[in-house]
């Protein structure tokens, strides 16, 4: 496994369970994009976002299906699985299980993540919680 695949895989394992662990994987100016808009700017904000997500989805499991990398880029196809712990995006079925397909794209500089672009099937996730 090359370095980008290794870093992307570790990021996905740790982001929802131990967000502080991603500090060694990301550049201090990392940006998380959502639907082509910069949503999160900087490492501290990304870690806080991870903790927020952990409160909403405390037992989330990201099952990695495929990882591809080329140069300073990595792409991951995965599936989210978990239980909703509190109201999220208008879904109030607390305690209900969900499953959602996702792809996540990473850009690296000096083996650190500088850009994260998830593509999540929000409708699929919401439908499993309605």
CA–CA dist 54, 39 (Å, integer) = 17
pLDDT by residue for the chain (130 residues), tens only, comes to 588 889 998 888 888 788 888 899 999 999 999 988 999 999 999 999 988 888 888 888 889 999 999 999 999 999 988 888 877 777 677 788 888 889 999 999 999 999 999 998 767 766 776 6
Range 3-127 has CATH code 3.10.450.50: yes
> Whole-model pTM above 0.85?
yes
Domain boundaries, the chain: 3-127
3-class state of residue 111 by DSSP? coil
């Amino acid at each position: 496994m090359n370095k980008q695949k290794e870093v992307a895989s570790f990021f996905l394992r740790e982001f929802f369970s131990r967000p502080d662990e991603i500090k060694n994987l990301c550049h201090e100016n990392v940006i998380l994009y959502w639907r082509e808009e910069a949503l999160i700017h900087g490492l501290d904000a990304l870690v806080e976002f991870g903790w927020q997500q952990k409160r909403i989805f405390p037992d989330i499991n990201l099952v990695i299906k495929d990882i591809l990398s080329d140069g300073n880029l990595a792409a991951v196809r995965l599936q989210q699985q978990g239980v909703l712990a509190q109201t999220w995006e208008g879904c109030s079925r607390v305690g209900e299980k969900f499953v959602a397909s996702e792809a996540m794209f990473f850009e690296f500089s000096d083996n650190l993540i500088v850009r994260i672009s998830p593509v999540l099937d929000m409708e699929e996730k919401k439908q499993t919680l309605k």
